[in-house]
Chains A and B, each alone.
Chain A
Amino acid sequence: MLVIGERINGMYKDVGKAIKERDKKVIQDLAKKQVASGASMLDVNVGPAAKDAQEAMKWLVETIQEVVDAGLCLDSTKPAVIEEGLKVVKNKAMVNSSTADKEKLDIFVPMAKQYKARLIGLTLGKSGVPRDRAQRSEYAAAILTSCVEAGFNLEELYIDPIVLPVNVAQPQSLEALEALREFRFLYNPPPKTVVGLSNVSQGTENRSLINRTFLIMAQAQGLDAAIVDPMDKELMDAMITAELLLNKNIYCDSYLDAYKKK
């Protein structure tokens, strides 16, 4: 499982403040803690409030790279903000994200290709969030088509079925899970998948429990990557245990430690 740490996001108060004040320590601590907890990539999002989004992205990337070697998942809806980050990323980069709209794909697919970055394709269209698994597959097919036509390496593509809050759109959890499985029949080799996990528990009382339960269910559907809070130890332990039960790793009594030493 590709674990992408979600904490460096301007939507969090501490991060938003740190970006505003250009306080490196807060960002670097979060970067180090997430990597130590098992993240192999870190999501980087300047947040909605940042006025100088491009400049802030560049600063975040450089600040993080001073202390960790993890890959960086540049998270914005604005191509210029992502590209500003891509220019300075030293390790593996990931473009987060393009929707399934042709106009968006025409920008982000060539951009990811140019910078040899991974790409997240959201199964979102002009009409907004997908209503069911069939519409998710339709959007996924559009993303795949765009990537194939542009000669983008499909190993680097991660399709996101869009996870919605269970307290707002309860039927959508199952639709997203089923979509993960259906995506696998769209292409050979099957496209990789990713979820932005924490959205499923947005506004609920039992966030950690709902997050890890959904993650395990998604893993059983073949999920390849997830944007999560790696400092949630119970979540990480559940994820590692699910990988074990899916026969991805060889059992030993200290399998949790073994995973962390990878």
Chain B
Amino acid sequence: MAVELIRDKWVNKVNTLKLGSGMEEGGSRSSTLTVGGVSTLPYLFSDGQMPHRPVIAMEILDTKPPDWPKALSEPFNGVLDNPVEWAKKCVNEYKAEVLCLKLQSTHPDFGDASPDKAASTVKAILGAVGVPLIILGSGNDEKDNLVLPKCSEAAKGENCLFGDATQENYKTLTASCLADGHSIIAESPIDINIAKQVNILISDMGFPLEKIAINPTIGALGYGMEYAYSIMERARLAALAGDKMLSMPFICFVGFEAWRAKEAKTPQAEHPEWGPEVERGLMWEVITATSMLLCGADILVMRHPKAISIVNQTIDKLMKK
């Protein structure tokens, strides 16, 4: 007897979010991307549509990364202390479709670079590459509130995705993004209630819900990945059932989380039985990324070019109907 599959019927879909603005929209991007718009749980094409493929943004820093293991920094040898060259390498050599620039050097503990310096880096990268840009502060609220408005202004009209807005610190960034036509990342600490709350707070300032991406905060494989998975799954189920305050695409910082794991970065010399660290770190990033895809990630921010290439192939396979 044939088994009849039960299909879910959803009443709502995830918002579509555009990254970057081309010439005709007042920006200067030579390519733009759209994510989101899904009306089904991930890759269940019989239940609904996934009009846009998840995308991978390559992460770059505006200063030499202090803590990247050799296996990770090797593909970027020679450009790690030059964000513009680094950006060009990602786009030209590794075919990055989006870049995620973290303004690490502005952090008081990592060089305390000035807001003007950060803004000029943003301008230089926008001038050097044509892909859309995600721009992150250093995570120091006080400094970010000085740095990000300058960078937002410098990138006015380019429709960048700026982050992160949090429950405690969202007003300055929201106002800047609103004024300069950017999208915003709303961050919550693996907490669906706060995820919803931050979106409400941001939208209360008149910011359009369609220009918000949710950063649910994830954990890497072995570091709470399943918590993130279940939060994302629950948020997506609520979105599809009609919750407009959770109907945003997800952005997941996979590279940052995966390469913090000791299994990813510990050299083979310290743990010979663990095998070569280059494969370990790479696979840690791949497995974390793939898991996030399966619970609905729309934008993955990743680091290792090889890992990105593998995950891109996985996305191709998943998107085959």
Contact = CB atoms under 8 A, between A and B. Distances in A.
Given A257-B200, A258-B200, A261-B200, A252 B194 contact: yes
A253 interface: yes
B245 A258 contact: yes
Interface in B230-244: 234-235, 238, 242-244
Nearest to A250: B238
Interface of B: 192-197, 200-201, 203-204, 234-235, 238, 242-246
A250 B234 CA distance: 9
Interface string A221-262: 000000000000000000000000000011111100110011
Contacts of A249: 238, 243
B189 to A, nearest CB: 14
Interface in A67-120: none
Nearest to B196: A252
A262 B246 CA distance: 11
Residues of A in contact with B, size category: 10 to 19
Given A261-B244, A261-B245, A262-B244, A253 B203 contact: no
A235 to B, nearest CB: 21
Contacts of B234: 250
Contacts of A262: 242-244
Contacts of A253: 193, 197
Contacts of B195: 252
A189 to B, nearest CB: 12
A22 B203 CA distance: 40
B297 to A, nearest CB: 19
A253 B201 CA distance: 10
A79 B197 CA distance: 47
B196 A258 contact: yes
A257 B201 CA distance: 10
A262 B12 CA distance: 11
